[in-house]
């Protein structure tokens, strides 16, 4: 039996029952379209989270006091006093895979400028902090080494602070703002950054020299955090190891003793967020996959009914010389044609729905080529898988009984 003839036969059989073929296809169309649309939405949100995280500084490393995992009662890392200025100095001096390092202490309170006030935190850091957090000074300038040395009462502020303390639009540069009775002179304004992936306002920020915050605001000698920046994203795990060794040496920890500090990288945070969105994507894809399977069962159902309905036709084909394998191939080809055509239409629909979601609902959408290929392959396999049983049934019919079937 010639394969082109088989295709012609199957095509004619389908053309004779256009409505039935279309209804069968519908299941596959919906299945494939939903798989593609769901994966596009899932991938889209994942990509947008990744983009946002990289604007937060993708090679950022955060060092906090306190162990990550420890038995017994755990303390609030902020109240621990194990992270000292000497540790920061040691990292700055010894770590080779770190380009920038900044201590971090913070005090919260009320900011007052004239008749306006706003609740905020003042972060004590050095100039490297801007590089680490991917911040830029828009107006004025960053405080200097000399300011740090002299614990100068100067600060750099973000857009949210400017908007709240200077609502009339006057330039805050050179103005004095008071924080918990301590006057600070504004030397710079930061470029606005907007909200981050976790919904935090990245512009509600006041940065002052760490010496100033430690001595004049908090009167403490320990740090709440150390921020660092790895040479590049790939090197950040190695940088973490390096910092860890330096700190263990500084803290005189023996082999076998647990770390009394925790180092986190931006990568960890992004992978944590990714886990959530991956879970969502998987869930959506599972639901869509189920509808694809239901579509496949639809094919099986229709093919099965059509074998019974077309018993006489099968009997006739056998009596004029169709072998079992010819009948089997015909029904399989019919099933595959239905599923492939349905798959193609489904791919178009899926992309269409994704575009609609993108432009109407403004959701981030990302259609990956592999999802299209995958759902297409799956629906072809579905066609063969669910078409096989009815086709086998047709091929095994006894021509004598089939031809006289009423």
Partner 1 sequence: MKKVIELDNIRRDFQVGEEVVHALRGVSFSITEGEFVTIMGTSGSGKSTLLNTLGCLDTPTKGEYYLDGISVRTMTKSERAVLRNRKIGFVFQNYNLLPKTTAVENVELPLMYNTAVSAKERRKRAIDALMAVGLGDRLEHKSNQMSGGQMQRVAIARALVNDPAVILADEATGNLDTRTSFEILVLFQKLHAEGRTIIFVTHNPDIARYSSRNIRLRDGKVIEDTYNTNIQSAAEQLAQLPKNDEE
Q: Does 9 bind partner 1 (CB under 8 A)?
A: yes
As a residue count, the chain comes to 406
At closest approach, how far in Å is the CB of 303 from partner 1?
18
Q: What region does 362 belong to: left with phi over 0, alpha with psi -120 to 50, or beta?
A: left
Residue 387 has, within 13 A of its CA and on its CB side, a CA count of: 22
Task: Please report how close the Cβ of residue 282 comes to partner 1 at its closest, in angstroms.
Answer: 46
**Of the candidate residues 12, 71, 76, 362, the single one contacting partner 1 (CB under 8 A):** 12
Count of chain residues binding partner 1 (CB under 8 A): 24
Phi/psi-derived region of residue 134, left when phi > 0, alpha when psi is between -120 and 50, beta in every other case: left
CB of 316 to partner 1, least distance (A): 4
CB of 28 to partner 1, least distance (A): 24
Nearer to partner 1, 256 or 321 (CB): 321
Positions 350 through 379 that interact with partner 1 (CB under 8 A): none
Residues with Cβ within 8 Å of 34's Cβ and at least 6 positions away in sequence, in order, are: 287, 288, 291, 292, 350
Binding positions for partner 1, 293-312, rule CB under 8 A: 312
Cβ distance to partner 1 smaller for residue 5 or 171: 5
Q: How far is CA 30 from CA 175, 296, 344, 349, in A?
A: 63, 11, 11, 8
Helix (H) or strand (E) holding 264: strand 261-265
Pick between residue 6 and residue 186 the one whose CB is nearest to partner 1: 6
Judged by beta carbon, residue 250 or residue 313, the one nearer partner 1 is: 313
Minimum Å gap between C-beta 334 and partner 1 is 14
Q: Which is nearer to partner 1, 17 or 82 (CB)?
A: 17
Do residues 172 and 157 touch, judged by C-beta distance below 8 A?
yes
Comparison of 113 and 332: residue with beta carbon closer to partner 1? 332
* Helix segments in 1-84, DSSP class H: 3-15, 18-55
Which one, 77 or 399, has the nearer CB to partner 1?
A: 399
Binding to partner 1 (CB under 8 A) within 309-328 occurs at 312-313, 315-326
**Can you say whether the dihedral through the CA atoms of 367, 369, 372, 375 is positive or negative?**
negative
Identified binder of partner 1 from the candidate list 16, 180, 245, 275, rule CB under 8 A: 16
* Whole-angstrom distance, CA of residue 333 vs CA of residue 1: 13
Residues that bind partner 1 in the complex, under the rule CB under 8 A: 1-2, 5, 8-9, 12, 16, 312-313, 315-326, 399-400, 403
């Amino acid at each position: 039996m010639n394969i082109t003839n088989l295709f012609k036969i199957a095509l004619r059989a389908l053309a004779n029952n256009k409505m039935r073929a279309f209804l069968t296809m519908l299941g596959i169309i919906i299945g494939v379209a939903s798989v593609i649309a769901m994966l596009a939405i899932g991938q889209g949100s994942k990509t947008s989270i990744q983009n946002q995280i990289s604007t937060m500084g993708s090679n950022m490393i955060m060092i906090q006091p306190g162990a990550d995992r420890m038995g017994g009662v755990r303390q609030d890392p902020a109240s621990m006093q194990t992270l000292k200025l000497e540790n920061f100095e040691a990292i700055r001096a010894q770590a080779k895979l770190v380009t920038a390092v900044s201590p971090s202490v913070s005090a919260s309170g009320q900011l007052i400028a004239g008749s306006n006030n706003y609740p905020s935190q003042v972060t004590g850091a050095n100039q490297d902090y801007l590089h680490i957090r991917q911040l830029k000074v828009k107006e004025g300038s960053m405080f200097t080494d000399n300011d740090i040395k002299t614990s100068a009462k100067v600060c750099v502020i973000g857009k949210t602070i400017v908007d709240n303390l200077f609502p009339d639009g006057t330039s805050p540069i050179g103005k004095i703002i008071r924080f918990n009775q301590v006057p600070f002179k504004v030397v710079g304004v930061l470029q606005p950054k907007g909200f981050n992936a976790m919904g935090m306002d990245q512009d509600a920020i006041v940065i002052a020299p760490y010496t100033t915050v430690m001595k004049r605001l908090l009167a403490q000698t320990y740090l709440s955090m150390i921020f660092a920046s790895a040479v590049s994203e790939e090197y950040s795990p190695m940088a973490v190891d390096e910092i860890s060794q330096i700190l263990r040496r500084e803290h005189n920890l023996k082999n076998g003793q647990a770390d009394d500090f925790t180092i986190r990288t931006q990568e960890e945070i992004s992978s944590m967020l990714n886990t959530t969105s991956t879970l969502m994507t998987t869930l959506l894809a599972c639901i869509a996959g189920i509808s694809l399977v239901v579509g496949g069962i639809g094919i099986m159902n229709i093919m099965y009914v059509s074998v019974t309905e077309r018993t006489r036709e099968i009997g006739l084909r056998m009596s004029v010389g169709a072998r079992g394998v010819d009948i089997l191939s015909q029904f399989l080809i019919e099933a595959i044609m239905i599923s492939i055509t349905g798959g193609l239409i489904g791919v178009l629909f899926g992309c269409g729905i994704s575009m609609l979601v993108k432009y109407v609902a403004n959701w981030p959408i990302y259609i990956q080529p592999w999802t299209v290929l995958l759902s297409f392959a799956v629906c072809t396999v579905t066609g063969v898988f669910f078409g096989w049983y009815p086709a086998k049934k047709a091929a095994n019919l006894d021509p004598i009984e089939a031809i006289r079937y009423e």
